């Protein structure tokens, strides 16, 4: 089940009000904004969407809200990661029924996965519970601690798991990404997921990108791609440096809290992040806004 999505896929936020309850009201406006800015797909309920901080019912509700607002115009990939296989299967079946284009997951956390064979077996257990849509393995070793080479994973799994459509590759090891792309790109779709390495990944042959900063910087990434494709290396680097500066500024705080602040600054208030994360203080918010304005985001 190979996926043929290209371009920018926005890892979307989940909306909470000040009391921490899920509030669907901001979703339709954001979806229209993203589509108007040339976003090619959505990735919902992942790290940016705080899915692992929410109940199964809340995740289902947000999933339905995004798929409903999109109304078939662009693909929606739904992250179904959970600490329980049973809950993951429930989330998968719901996402498929709601109209998800694909589902995606990390492995259940806490218990150590110490071999590539364990990884293959666990991915198989998740992916094989349905045959209707592709499954995208979510490789994010900074969160999971699973530092296996993905080209070795693809070699081991071969063609034995037809549900596997690709990998969301959120790691700075672009040598491994290139191995996956060159050796297995005809069979599996490689989604690059480190926004601050966008241009190097583009040079490595990436053509599909999943990221949180595409919610508010899509035009900059479109400019990078256009200039790089036309051979304007200096122009591509100039646009890329702007993106890198903005990402560097937001990483001066908790990355999710600062990006939710940017969304609020941009007129899309998705509320604070869920505990244990803390929102920016008013002083941090004001300082951050001034820095972003100086860089040219606003």
Coil, strand or helix: which one is 7? strand
* Closest by Cα among 54, 11, 7 to 260: 11
Of 43, 66, 137, 138, catalytic: 138
48 is known to lie in a ligand binding site: yes
Sign of the CA dihedral with 150 first, then 127, 170, and 178 last: positive
Q: What is the 3-state secondary structure (H, E, C) of 137-177?
A: EEECHHHHCCCCCHHHHHHHHCCCCCCEEEEEECCCCHHHH
DSSP secondary structure letter of residue 205: T
258 class by beta-carbon count within 10 Å (0-12 exposed, 13-18 middle, 19+ buried): buried
Dist CA 12 CA 159 (whole Å):
31
Please give the structure tokens belonging to residue 179.
């191995």
170 is known to lie in a ligand binding site: no
Dist CA 157 CA 298 (whole Å):
46
Of 43, 66, 137, 168, catalytic: 168
Q: Tell me whether residue 138 is one of the annotated catalytic residues.
A: yes
Please give the structure tokens belonging to residue 99.
């109209």
Coil, strand or helix: which one is 105? strand
Q: Tell me whether residue 189 is one of the annotated catalytic residues.
A: no
* Closest by Cα among 137, 233, 146, 240 to 193: 137
Dist CA 23 CA 248 (whole Å):
30
Dist CA 175 CA 4 (whole Å):
23
Dist CA 71 CA 64 (whole Å):
10
Known binding-site residues for pyruvate equal 48, 210
Known binding-site residues equal 48, 210
User: Where in the sequence numbering do the catalytic residues fall?
Assistant: 138, 168
């Amino acid at each position: 089940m190979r996926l043929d999505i290209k371009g920018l896929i926005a890892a979307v936020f989940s909306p909470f009000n000040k009391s921490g309850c899920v509030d669907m009201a901001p979703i339709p406006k954001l979806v229209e904004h993203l589509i108007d800015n040339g976003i090619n797909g959505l990735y919902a309920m992942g790290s940016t969407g705080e899915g692992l901080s929410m109940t199964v019912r809340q995740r289902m509700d947000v999933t339905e809200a995004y798929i409903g607002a999109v109304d078939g115009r662009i693909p929606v990939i739904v992250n179904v990661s959970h600490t329980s296989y049973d809950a993951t299967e429930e989330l998968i079946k719901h996402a498929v029924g709601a109209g998800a284009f694909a589902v995606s997951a990390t492995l259940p956390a806490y218990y150590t996965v110490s071999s590539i064979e364990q990884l293959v077996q666990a991915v198989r257990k998740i992916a094989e519970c349905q045959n209707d849509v592709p499954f995208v393995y979510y490789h994010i070793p900074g969160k999971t601690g699973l530092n296996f080479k993905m080209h070795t994973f693809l070699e081991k799994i071969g063609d034995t798991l037809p549900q596997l459509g690709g990998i969301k590759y959120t790691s700075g090891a672009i040598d491994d990404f290139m191995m996956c792309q060159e050796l297995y790109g005809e069979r599996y779709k490689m989604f690059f997921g480190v926004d601050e390495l966008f241009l190097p990944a583009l040079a490595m042959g990436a053509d599909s990108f999943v990221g949180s900063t595409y919610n508010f910087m899509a035009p900059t990434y479109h400019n990078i791609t256009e200039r790089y494709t036309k051979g304007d290396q200096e122009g591509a680097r100039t646009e890329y440096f702007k993106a890198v500066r903005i990402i560097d500024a937001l990483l001066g705080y908790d990355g999710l809290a600062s990006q939710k602040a940017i969304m609020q600054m941009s007129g899309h208030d998705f509320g604070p992040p869920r505990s244990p994360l803390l929102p920016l203080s008013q002083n941090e918010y004001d300082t951050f806004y001034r820095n972003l304005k100086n860089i040219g985001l606003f």
